Amino acid sequence: MTVKKEGDFAITRESLYGTENEPTYAGITSFMRRKYTRDLTGVDLVVTGVPLDSATTNRPGTRLGPRAIRVASTIISWMRPYNTVMDPFDKLAVVDYGDCFFDFGRPETISDSIEAHATSIINRGPALLSLGGDHFVAWPLLKAHAKRHGKPLSLLHFDAHSDTWEDEEGRNDHGTMFWHAVKEGLIDPASSVQIGLRTNNEDALGFNILDAPWVHENGIRAVIDKTLEILGDRPVYLSFDIDCLDPSYAPGTGTPVCGGLTSHQAIAILRGLIGINLIGMDLVEVAPAYDSGEITALAAATLAMEIINIYANRPE
């Protein structure tokens, strides 16, 4: 291994491409040491944080999720994902845009602020990977993506929870936003897949559900085959709630549920989904206060890289 004398690639890197070595323990912690910038010239994919935790039903703390994922990502930032032939960063110019800012003193404005933030990025061309934040952030993110790419989108949703619990007009939280998204026609449940669920919801709203017991019973290959078949070549928004993983692999989250996926299963499933027509993505619900040894944040950073790898290999 060669370590260049200079570090802090978040600010010193000249090319937006490639993977470089710098001491993993030091320096400005942009996501995966990508350039920390708001200049989107020549950028293919933007990573941004959405540090919100005011729509959670149980333990708060996901406002610190983006920062924790960035820190953990430095551990894996010196190499391409294991067993990939092509480094996603050789194909894609990826930058860390920093976080979405909103006024926590005007909570009624937060959703619109997140939507405007996402819109301002994707309307300039790049795709967006958002790091939550509680899962509510997927609501304004979906609205922005549906406006850009047309509705309804297909949703690829990894979670312990359906997040389609019935709600009322005018309210919304991190367990109901996909109910609203279906009611508003932003997503088409018949061409969407939910993976890893293990909490009761009598009304599936027409989603295809591969719940956690089904995953464990049928295995990784079956999950991949079924998911590819359902999604086809439709435009897909991917939303990954870290609590899809079992609490033993992801304790650092607000609403953990036992019986979930292993980090291996999640990585292997994402790797098998290369070829889907991914147009937008988020990874949410990392709450570092309940984490242990950064395992949740590291899992999140690793899964985020697998998601970027899918985007790098999307059909032309």
Exposure on the CB side of residue 81, measured as CA atoms within 13 A = 20
> Which one of 2-10, 101-109, 234-242, 272-280 is the stretch in contact with Mn ion (CB under 5 A)?
234-242
Q: Which of residues 143-162 bind Mn ion (CB under 5 A)?
A: 159-161
Buried b (16+ CB within 10 A) or exposed e, 76-87: bbbebbeebeeb
Q: Choose, by CB under 5 A, the member of 22, 96, 134, 241 that binds Mn ion.
A: 241
Element (H, E) at 113: helix 110-122
Residue nearer to Mn ion on the CB measure, 15 or 248: 248
CB of 199 to Mn ion, least distance (A): 8
Residue nearer to Mn ion on the CB measure, 93 or 187: 187
**Residue that the structure tokens 């300039």 belong to:** 124
CB of 208 to Mn ion, least distance (A): 18
Residue nearer to Mn ion on the CB measure, 159 or 291: 159
**Residue that the structure tokens 């969407």 belong to:** 192
Q: Which of residues 253-292 bind Mn ion (CB under 5 A)?
A: none
Q: What angle do CA 30, 87, 83 make, to 5 degrees?
A: 115
Residue 134 in contact with Mn ion, rule: CB under 5 A: no
Number of residues that bind Mn ion (CB under 5 A): 5
Cis bond upstream, residue 272 (ω within 30)? no
Angle at which helices 110-122 and 138-149 cross, to 10°: 40
Binding mask 155-194 for Mn ion (x = CB under 5 A): ----xxx---------------------------------
Q: Choose, by CB under 5 A, the member of 243, 246, 282, 291 that binds Mn ion.
A: 243
CB atoms within 10 A of CB 188: 16
Residue nearer to Mn ion on the CB measure, 160 or 308: 160
Residue nearer to Mn ion on the CB measure, 127 or 250: 250
Whether the Cβ atoms of residue 97 and residue 30 lie closer than 8 Å to each other: no
Residue nearer to Mn ion on the CB measure, 143 or 161: 161
Integer Rg of the chain from CA: 18
How far apart are alpha carbons 222 and 301 in whole angstroms?
25
The residues that touch Mn ion, with contacts defined as CB under 5 A, are 159-161, 241, 243
